[in-house]
Structure formats: C-alpha cells, structure tokens
Amino acid sequence: MDGNLNALTTIFTEFYYWVTVVFMFLIHVGFCLYEVSASRHKNHMHTLMKNVMIIPLVTITFFLFGWWIYWTFPNFPLFGTLDLDAGQNNLPWSETMGTNLSDHITGVFWAAFLLFSWTAASIVSGSVIERIRSSAFWIHAILIGSVFWVIDAAWGWHYAGWMVRELGYHDAYASGVIHAIAGGYALGVLTVLGPRIGKFDSNGVARIIPPHNPWLLAVGIFMIYTGFWGFYAACNVPIISPALIDGQITGATWTATNIYLTPTTLSAITFNFLMSLSGGLMAAYIVSKGDAFWTFSGGLAGIITASAGNDLYHPIQALLIGAAGVICAYKLHYYVERKFKIDDAVGAVAVHGYAGVVGLIISGFVLWGVPSSPFDGYAAINPIGQLLGALIMFGLLGFLPAYLVTRVQSSLGILRIPETIELKGLDFVDNLSRELAEEHLVAIEKERSVQDQTRS
Amino acid sequence: MSTIGYQQWAVDLAQVTSIYPFQGSEIIMTIIGVVFWLGWHKVQFNQENQKMNGAREAETDPSDTS
C-alpha cells in the first residue's frame, strides 16, 4: 500500500466489503426466523438447528474448496481447462488465505461470496422443513453452497466467465446465479422427498398448513430485506479506475461497477431495489388477495425478478418487472403444487426459482444489445443468452444435481425421517433424551423419599 | 523464538506478508481441517441414527423408557 490514494482505496474497499458481510448476516437471521415461523410447534428447534448449522458447514467447505472453484472454473469444461494459476492464491493452504499484511482484500471478498453461499443453502432449507433428515439436508447445503452455485458464479458471475463472453449473460444482482439455481435445487430435492404427511387430502387436493407465527415471519422477511441491501452493495466493486479495469472504457473517471466491471452506481441500485420491492409487494397483495405470507414474500420476489438488470433499469421498469415476476411466481407455485403434488413449505421455489428465471428472461428483452462487458469480444446481452442462462441455472446446475443426489439418498434410506417421528414432531426426538433424563431423576427422588419414610 | 517468524515489530511493513503461527505447515493444517469436517459428519450421522431409533422405539412402546 504505497501512496496515500492507493492506501485509502484499499482500506475503503476492505471496509466496504466487511460492512456488506455484516449486513448480509441479517439474511441468515431472517431466514431462520422465517423458516421457524413457518414450521409447526412440534418442529421448531429442529428447524432452527437445521438452518443454523448451514453456517459452519458451508463456511468450512467454502474455505476448503468453494473459493478455489470460483477462480478456476470460469471456462471449464466447455471453453478451456481449469485456471490453476488464478486458483493458486485461493487454495486453503495459500498464504493469502490467512493473516497477511500484503493482502487486505481476499478475506473480505471471500466472506462476501461466502454469505451468498449461506443464502443459497438457506433458500433450499426452508422448502424441505418438517420431514428431511438433517444429515441429508446438510449434504445438500454443502453441494449448493460450496459447489454448484460457485460453479454457476464462475461461469456467469465472473468478468471472464464463458457465459458472459459467449452468451452475453447478464445477472448483476443474482436473479439466476443465486435465486434461480437455489429454487431449481429446492425443486429437485422436493420432487424426490415428497410432501409432508397431511399436506394433500385423499383426493390430492392441497391443504393449507399456515405459518404458526405470522408476526415473527414478518420480522424474518424484514431482516432478509435489510440483508439484501448489503447483498446488493456486495455485488458491486465500490470504486475502480478505467486503467485498472484495462478494458474499452476511455478517460480517467473512476466508477463503481457490477461484478462484470461494467459501470453502475450505488444510487442507481438503491432506486431500483426499492422500486422492485414496491412492485413485488403491490402485485403480491393483489394476486394473493391480501394474504400476509405471500405479500411479504412477494416483496422479496419483486427484488429477485428485477435483480438481473437492476444495475441499469429505470426505477419504473424495476417496479413493473418486479410486479410481473411476482404474478408469474405465484401462479406457477399453485400450478406446480396442484399438478405435481410438490409441497414447498415456504414457497422458496416460486419466490427464488420462478421469479429468478422470469427476471432473467425479461432482462434479455429490456437490455437487448447492451454490452455485457467492458472487454472486447464479448457477446451483447440478448434474449436467447438470458434464456439459456436461466435454463443452466435452474435446470442444469440446480434441479438436476439435486434430483440425482436426493435419489441416491432415498435409495439408501437416509433421506426422510420415519413416519412415526414426523407425526410426533422432530422436536420429540431432540427432547426425548432430556425428558428421559428428567423422568429418571424424578424416579430417583421418589425412591429416595420412600426410603426416607421407611427409615423414619 | 516466535511462532509467527517475527520477534519484534522493528520492520518495514511493506516487506511483511504472512504473520500467522506455524507458517509452512499450511497443507498439514488443511488436512486436519478436512478430517475435522468429515469426522463431524460421521459422528453427527451416528448420533442422529441413535436418536431416531430411540425415539421410534419410545413412540412404539411409550411405557418402555429404559
């Protein structure tokens, strides 16, 4: 860090990402509240524990191999080999993956991506509550959090990713690379896992299992909104010079950029975040006829739909795109539930998956012809590229691996909890040893008092 | 002796890189990390099986709390 400007830029960038990470922690807090509120009383603590343990398991695996995948996979396997040189500094035994005075960025940048990983896993977590074994779910948490979303980020959320270069793929705030893939992954698990006991009646008609605590659910979703601000900021490079970008941008004006190093501003994404949130809330209120659960979730789905292009949209465009995505997601949720008997307990496939896919497709039309990169030789944003991108995110890297792994777990009998325990509630399992210990203590006390009475 | 390689801070920070203890043993630490991670899954899976089986037996025969 020689020179005052260089030092200031470095420390600002380090602190910037650090702040986004702290904000993004609220996403996980929100998901925990949301998921527990949606579960029934008999499953509370188990539901909470299932989500909380995402934190250490995804963190350790993202340290061990997830971060390395991001840097080595941008062109692998279709357009080149693993980029081992780029991966070298991001291996778990690299000197920059620890306390190092010559590197102020790797740790905070790693953490920003890690929080995205927690989010991807947490999205899947909510949809499978009340019947999946924790051990089975945590394998999925690692796969979506430290493997598959990271591959999609290397391909489509990296300035040199092949999807950006060849397809003109554009997904500034992760409609596809976080939300569509996580929604697709959740659907893949749900297809094999099956519904909760009692979700469908004997005629196959879905019953409503309402959240046990709508108030806490609202607090949870507000936490997620708040963390989403941090997520948006974390997706940007806060300040960079054209010389450092070393692309086609001329002049000496420093700028904020998105992950592809194309220019945007914090001001722009603040406009669009709030307008797409508003569009989502308003559309969800109307389409669900004021249902609280869907209205809150609709705000989130509105942001998710517009996120692919929220670095460039006009605020009114963000509002309308957010609204359109919510209507599609809501209709698709009930269509898939009716048709395929899919029990998505929190609507995660709709809010994240369908909204993300719709957002990518819409952005292909609205941003048609816009340069996807500051570098020469990249395809411009276009509808076909965005559609293919959506299919890759939702289907190829989301649904397919989830479906295959879940099938294996199912065939081994390690996927779903026993029926008797599902009916009794998962907290029964965790509380049983404590209850037995308490009963044992009571028995000892009774025996002792009987002996005392006999002596006296 | 210092585990981080520096016994005093009378240094030019521009020349300083890693300052964590036991530099040079990063690969061994990584292997220990992997063993810790995979070992956790094995222990957790066994504990979960025990709990599930215990709960299933208790549910089948509530009078038997042994």
Cβ-nearest to B48 among A93, A103, A134: A134
pLDDT for the residue numbered A18: 95
User: Are residues A63 and A139 both part of a single domain?
Assistant: yes
- The B-side interface with A (CB below 8 A) comprises 13-14, 16-20, 23, 26-27, 29-30, 33-34, 36-37, 41, 44-45, 48, 51-52, 54-56, 58-60, 65
Question: For residue A368, what are the CA distances in angstroms to A168, A249, A381, A384, A392?
Answer: 10, 20, 5, 10, 19
Domain region containing A297: 4-424
**Burial of A39 (C-beta count, 10 Å sphere; 0-12/13-18/19+):** buried
Mean pLDDT over all residues of chain A? Answer: 95
Highest mean pLDDT among A207-211, A313-317, A448-452: A313-317
| Interchain contact, B34 vs A64, CB within 8 Å | yes
The size of chain A, in residues, is 456
CA gap A34, A305 in Å, rounded? 20
Question: Does the structure show a pLDDT above 90 at A448?
Answer: no
Q: State the smallest CA–CA distance between residue A422 and chain B in angstroms.
A: 10
pLDDT digits (tens, 9 = 90+) for A169-221: 999 999 999 999 999 999 999 999 999 999 999 999 999 998 889 899 999 99
pLDDT for the residue numbered A211: 87
First to last CA, chain B: 57
When pLDDT is cut at 50, 70 and 90, the band that residue A234 belongs to is: very high
By the 8 A CB rule, do A141 and A125 touch?
yes
| Interchain contact, A64 vs B17, CB within 8 Å | no
List of residues 6+ apart from B16 with CB closer than 8 A: A101, A102, B6
Question: Does the structure show a pLDDT above 60 at B63?
Answer: no
CA gap A195, A91 in Å, rounded? 40
Hey, what are A51's tokens? 């989500």
Question: Does the structure show a pLDDT above 80 at A432?
Answer: no
- How many CB pairs below 8 Å do chains A and B form together? 82
pLDDT for the residue numbered A441: 80
Q: Where are the beta strands (DSSP E) in A149-275?
A: 237-240, 255-257, 263-264
By the 8 A CB rule, do A309 and A232 touch?
no
User: Are residues A338 and A444 both part of a single domain?
Assistant: no
User: Are residues A356 and A442 both part of a single domain?
Assistant: no
Q: Which residue has the tokens 């554009």?
A: A170
By the 8 A CB rule, do A169 and A259 touch?
no
Percentage of chain A exceeding pLDDT 70: 98
Angle, helices A266-287/A214-234, rounded to nearest 10 degrees: 150
pTM score above 0.90: yes
User: Are residues A10 and A77 both part of a single domain?
Assistant: yes
Helix (H) or strand (E) holding A183: helix A181-193
User: Are residues A434 and A376 both part of a single domain?
Assistant: no
Hey, what are A169's tokens? 């793929």
By the 8 A CB rule, do A234 and A22 touch?
no
pLDDT digits (tens, 9 = 90+) for B7-62: 999 999 999 999 999 999 999 999 999 999 999 999 999 999 998 888 878 777 65
pLDDT for the residue numbered A405: 98
Question: Does the structure show a pLDDT above 50 at A157?
Answer: yes
Degrees, nearest 5: CA angle B55-B56-B57: 90
User: Are residues A331 and A441 both part of a single domain?
Assistant: no
Q: How many helices (H) and strands (E) does chain A have?
A: 21, 3
We report the CATH number of the domain holding residue A88 as 1.10.3430.10
Q: What is the mean pLDDT of residues A94-103?
A: 95
User: Are residues A394 and A446 both part of a single domain?
Assistant: no
Question: Does the structure show a pLDDT above 50 at B66?
Answer: no
Q: What ipTM goes with this model?
A: 0.92
Question: For residue A9, what are the CA distances in angstroms to A239, A253, A254?
Answer: 8, 15, 11
| Interchain contact, B33 vs A92, CB within 8 Å | yes
| Interchain contact, A432 vs B55, CB within 8 Å | yes
pLDDT for the residue numbered A454: 82
User: Are residues A325 and A438 both part of a single domain?
Assistant: no
Nearest to A24 by CA among A120, A156, A147: A120
CA gap B65, A132 in Å, rounded? 26
pLDDT digits (tens, 9 = 90+) for A389-409: 999 999 999 999 999 999 999
User: Are residues A149 and A28 both part of a single domain?
Assistant: yes
| Interchain contact, B54 vs A433, CB within 8 Å | yes
Hey, what are A399's tokens? 């649904």
List of residues 6+ apart from A418 with CB closer than 8 A: B52, B56
User: Are residues A263 and A150 both part of a single domain?
Assistant: yes
User: Are residues A318 and A444 both part of a single domain?
Assistant: no
Question: Does the structure show a pLDDT above 60 at A1?
Answer: no
Q: Which amino acid is at A234?
A: A
Neighbours of A235 (CB within 10 A): 24
pLDDT digits (tens, 9 = 90+) for A339-378: 999 999 999 999 999 999 999 999 999 999 999 999 999 9
**What are the residues facing A240 on neighbouring strands?**
A255
CA gap A452, A244 in Å, rounded? 84
Q: Which amino acid is at A191?
A: T
Q: State how many domains chain A has.
A: 2
CA gap A121, A87 in Å, rounded? 24
CA gap A167, A347 in Å, rounded? 30
User: Are residues A118 and A160 both part of a single domain?
Assistant: yes
CA gap B2, A441 in Å, rounded? 52
Q: State the smallest CA–CA distance between residue A426 and chain B in angstroms.
A: 9
| Interchain contact, A95 vs B54, CB within 8 Å | no
pLDDT for the residue numbered A163: 98
pLDDT for the residue numbered B6: 95
The sign of the dihedral angle between the CA atoms of A301, A222, A279, A342 is positive
